[in-house]
Amino acid sequence: MYMYYNIIKLRNKKKTGGQKMKLAEIKDLDREVLTIEELNDLECEEFVERVECLGASENNKYYWYDVTLTDDTRIDVYTEK
């Protein structure tokens, strides 16, 4: 349920005036499927250092992204092809 809240928060970011996400909220997005717009918003978050596309996921249904955070934590997120 908490991860779902973070995705909703990311989706509503533009509507709510661009509230920044907390580091823990970003970490909870690990292994989630995002839209391209959500990925772009995530890339602009203050705790995100870098986003790198790693190509197709193992099942070849998604694009796989490695997200490096400012505390050197890494999470994986996906977008549909």
Quick check: helix, strand or coil at residue 3?
helix
Phi and psi at 23, nearest 5°, equal -55, -45
The radius of gyration computed from the CA coordinates of the chain, to the nearest angstrom, equals 12
When pLDDT is cut at 50, 70 and 90, the band that residue 30 belongs to is: very high
Its pTM stands at 0.80
CB burial of residue 68 (10 Å; 0-12, 13-18, 19+): middle
Write the pLDDT tens digit of every residue in 49-68. Answer: 999 999 999 889 999 999 99
